[in-house]
A and B are shown apart, each in its own frame.
Chain A
Amino acid sequence: MPHINFNNDFPGIRSAMAYSPETAAPMGVLAEILLRSNDGLTPADRELIGMYVSYLNDCFYCNHSHGEIACIYLGGDRELVEQVRKDYSKAPISDKLKSLLAIAAKVQKGGKFVTVEDVAKAKENGADDKDIHDTVLIAAAFCMFNRYVDGLATITPTDMDSYPLRAKQIVDNGYGNHVFTNKQPT
């Protein structure tokens, strides 16, 4: 049961956002820019970073929600998503994305864990300043989203078939307050 009365029964972050639409609005804008921009990093890369940080933060709702969104962008390749989650170093992804995931994992522990060497490695593998900026901010933002979701004990759906439905809604319509003002997908 959630720690506070949200006055709604939406899953995960949606319940907290519906409870507090004023704070939800800038968070939705932030997610839209960070996760759906398609320069340098693709939306699939961005979602994989968000998913991976959520996995490290043990946030089931965000981990599986963003894993399913990444899966759609990857043409349904759920196996790749699972490989990134379990051991990205062996996954068939670019060296650039691997070195950015390494930076994201450092950010998850704390900002100061990111070293000059981590950044130099990512640059060697083709990342530019904006890719590094976005990686750090995506990882940092999921350290917020995950804590918001679990810190208030929002409802985590156990029906795994519901995750792809919400993921499709995000892929089709993007992030924003529509996720709680519109009907939940069934």
Chain B
Amino acid sequence: MAHIKVEENIPGIRSLVLFRPETGKSLYDLAQVLLRGPSSLPEAERELIAAYVSYRNDCMFCMKSHAAAARCLYGAEEKLVDEVLNDMQQSNVSNKMKALLHIAGKVQILGKEVRLEDIIAARSLGADDKEIHDTVLIAASFSMFNRYVDGLASFTPTDATVYEEMGKRMVNGYLPPSSEQS
């Protein structure tokens, strides 16, 4: 049960956003810009960074939902998502993506863990400043989203099909839930 009185059976962050729509709107706006806005990083890769950070933070709701969104976005290459969540270094994503996921993993621990050599490595594999910025901010924002969702013990569905549906919906973008449609 959630730590505060939210609508029952509404999963994860959606229940929290319905509890406090004012902050909810800015959280969804941030997710929309970061994960769906203009960027040279494909949306699939951005969702995968989000799922990877959520996995490292042991946040099942965010990990399963963003992994589902990433699988939809990768399409025929969907198995990359599970490869990364099982063993990032052994996965078949590009070396550039591995370098960015490595930076995201550092950010998940703490900002100061990111070292100049991590940045140099990502750059030498083709990452530009905007891609490094976006990676750091996606990882930082999921260090927030994960804590919000678990810190208030929001409802985490266990049924895998719930996440599949969620993933399909998330591909279309992030719009805060309203009390009528939820």
The residues of A with any CB-CB pair to B shorter than 8 Å are: 3-5, 16, 19-20, 22-23, 25-27, 29-30, 33-34, 57-59, 103, 106-107, 110-112, 114, 116, 119, 129-130, 132-134, 136-137, 139-141, 143-153
Contact call A149/B111, Cβ cutoff below 8 A:
yes
A162 and B26 alpha carbons, distance in the complex (Å): 29
A147: contacting residue among B34, B136, B145, CB under 8 A: B136
Contact call A111/B150, Cβ cutoff below 8 A:
yes
Most buried by A among B4, B5, B22, B107: B4
Q: A133-B19, A144-B140, A146-B111 are in contact. Are A23 and B34 (CB under 8 A)?
A: yes
Asked if B151 is at the interface of the complex by the 8 Å CB criterion, the answer is: yes
Asked if B146 is at the interface of the complex by the 8 Å CB criterion, the answer is: yes
Contact call A16/B133, Cβ cutoff below 8 A:
yes
Asked if B143 is at the interface of the complex by the 8 Å CB criterion, the answer is: yes
* 11 contacts across the A-B interface (CB closer than 8 A): A4-B132, A20-B137, A110-B57, A110-B58, A112-B151, A114-B151, A114-B152, A130-B20, A134-B20, A143-B143, A147-B107
Closest chain A residue, CB of each to CB of B111: A150
A103 and B150 alpha carbons, distance in the complex (Å): 12
Q: For the complex of A and B, list the 7 residue pairs with the smallest distance between their C-beta atoms, beginning with the closest.
A: A111-B150, A150-B111, A144-B144, A147-B140, A140-B147, A111-B151, A26-B29
Contact call B29/A116, Cβ cutoff below 8 A:
no
Give the interface SS of chain A, mostly helix, strand, loop or mixed.
helix
Contact call B140/A151, Cβ cutoff below 8 A:
yes
Q: In the complex, which residues of chain A have a beta carbon less than 8 angstroms from the beta carbon of B160?
A: none
Q: In the complex, which residues of chain A have a beta carbon less than 8 angstroms from the beta carbon of B148?
A: 111, 136-137, 140
Least Cβ–Cβ distance between B83 and chain A, in angstroms: 25
Least Cβ–Cβ distance between A31 and chain B, in angstroms: 9
A144 and B141 alpha carbons, distance in the complex (Å): 5
Q: A26-B30, A29-B29, A147-B111 are in contact. Are A114 and B3 (CB under 8 A)?
A: yes
Q: In the complex, which residues of chain A have a beta carbon less than 8 angstroms from the beta carbon of B72?
A: none
Asked if B139 is at the interface of the complex by the 8 Å CB criterion, the answer is: yes
B147: contacting residue among A23, A33, A107, A134, CB under 8 A: A107
Contact call B137/A132, Cβ cutoff below 8 A:
no
Least Cβ–Cβ distance between A117 and chain B, in angstroms: 11
